[in-house]
Amino acid sequence: MISLENVYFSYENSPVLRDISFQINEKEKVVLLGINGCGKSTLLKILNGLIFPEKGSYYFKGELITEKKLKNKEFTRKFRKSNVLLFQNPDSMIFNPTVYDEIAFGLRQLFPDSIDEKVHFWAEKLGISHLLKRSPFELSGGEKQKVCLASILVLEPELLLLDEPTANLDPRSTGWFVDFLSELDITVITTTHNLSLAPELGSRVIVLSEDHNIIYDGDINSFIEDIDLLKKANLVHTHYHRHGTLKHKHYHTHDF
Ligand SMILES: Nc1ncnc2c1ncn2[C@@H]1O[C@H](COP(=O)(O)OP(=O)(O)O)[C@@H](O)[C@H]1O
Ligand SMILES: [Mg+2]
């Protein structure tokens, strides 16, 4: 479904992605792991066709994705329906007067067909039916997140890109989110910097380093057991502890 070939990207001459290549098959659940600033959000924006590689190629469903191609209305309509991104901050996505309008917006733009039925179906699935008449702006962070998720899932996409989706959720909502995700039968790529959450989000992990390249792509459990790789990704650090006169060394993950 996705093929990235030697992709590079920079912001104002500062490299953010270097020589990124991978392929992702339909219905795979992949975790994109790395510390802050390593380029995860930038990579999701490339996959969602919001920005374009400065070098290298990105193919989605066999089509080379270029700025020019996304100026074609018919191509864009199909692309935007099947390839959706949940931004890290739900506030940057909401702008409609009611939750109902928020969820219906994309459908009205792209596929104005059975709107009412689909909005109610996804609101029900996400447990937000009781909020449909409310203003999305006055909801809690977790509720906003669900509204944003409904607003993209209502398009029935083939690829769901999630940027640190649990960063603003409490443990109970995070648990709900993980279960919800595992039941979705589509391709999902989720970014996180949270090592202990990563195995809940997929079985394959692609790890970006601070140098903005891929240092691991494979089974997530093998990665988590490889202390040298974890150190290389800066996902663990060594800590000295004193217990009375005893001093010893531990590895710590950076999760809290
Ligand atoms: N619009 C932008 N303009 C300039 N620099 C940016 C922009 N967006 C991100 N960056 C920089 O690019 C690097 C990678 O950012 P990002 O992809 O957001 O990383 P991550 O999501 O892994 O934290 C960071 O150093 C960040 O400050
Ligand atoms: Mg980010």
Q: What token pair was written down for 232? A: 């290389």
Instruction: Read off the CATH number of the domain in which 208 is found.
Output: 3.40.50.300
Q: Please check whether residue 142 lies inside any domain of the structure.
A: no
Does ligand 1 come within 6 angstroms of the Cβ of 39?
yes
Tally of domains within the chain:
1
Q: Please check whether residue 25 lies inside any domain of the structure.
A: yes
Residues facing residue 218 across a β-bridge: 205
Q: Please check whether residue 134 lies inside any domain of the structure.
A: no
Residues facing residue 129 across a β-bridge: none
Q: What percentage of the chain exceeds 70 in pLDDT? A: 93
Q: Please check whether residue 33 lies inside any domain of the structure.
A: yes
- Measured between alpha carbons, how far is 168 from 127 in angstroms, rounded to an integer? 18
Measure 37 CA to ligand 1 centroid, in angstroms.
6
Residues facing residue 214 across a β-bridge: 208
Give the structural domain span for 208: 2-79+159-178+195-253
Q: Please check whether residue 73 lies inside any domain of the structure.
A: yes
Q: Please check whether residue 218 lies inside any domain of the structure.
A: yes
Measure 15 CA to ligand 1 centroid, in angstroms.
10
pLDDT tens for each residue of 130-174: 999 999 999 998 899 999 999 999 999 999 999 999 887 888 889
Decide if 131 contacts 119 (C-beta within 8 A): no
pLDDT at residue number 167 = 84
58 residue type, one letter = Y
Does ligand 1 come within 6 angstroms of the Cβ of 18?
no
Q: Is the pLDDT of residue 252 over 80?
A: no
Question: Looking at the CA of 33, which ligand is closest?
Answer: 1
pLDDT band of residue 233 (cuts 50, 70, 90) is confident
pLDDT tens for each residue of 183-224: 999 999 999 998 889 999 999 999 999 999 999 999 999 998
Q: What is the pTM of this model?
A: 0.92
- Measured between alpha carbons, how far is 3 from 25 in angstroms, rounded to an integer? 9
- Measured between alpha carbons, how far is 93 from 87 in angstroms, rounded to an integer? 7
Q: Please check whether residue 230 lies inside any domain of the structure.
A: yes
| Residues surrounding ion ligand 2 at CB below 5 Å | 40-41
Q: Please check whether residue 84 lies inside any domain of the structure.
A: no
